[in-house]
Chain A
Amino acid sequence: MKIIKQIGIIFTVCWLSILVEKALPFSFPASVIGMILLFLCLLTGVLKIEHIQEKADFLLENMAFFFVPAGVSIINYFDVLKDTWLQLVIICVISTVITFAVTAWSVKLAVRLMGRRRDNE
Chain B
Amino acid sequence: MSGNKVIKNLKSFSTAAERFEGSHVLCPGCAHSIIVREILNATNDNLVVSASTGCLEVCTAIYPHTSWDCSWIHIGFENSSTAVAGAEAMNKALRKKGRIGSDVPEPKFVAFGGDGATFDIGFQWLSGCFERGHDMMYVCLDNEVYANTGGQRSSATPIGASATTSPAGSTSYGEKQNKKDIIQIMAAHGSPYVAQVAPNKWKDMIKKIHRGFDTKGPVYINAMSACTTEWKFAPHETIEVSDLATDSLVFPLYEIIDGTELNITYRPKNIVPVRDYLGAQPRFKHLFKPEYEYLIKEWQERVDAYWEYLQRREEARV
Question: Are A and B a genuine interacting pair, yes or no?
Answer: no
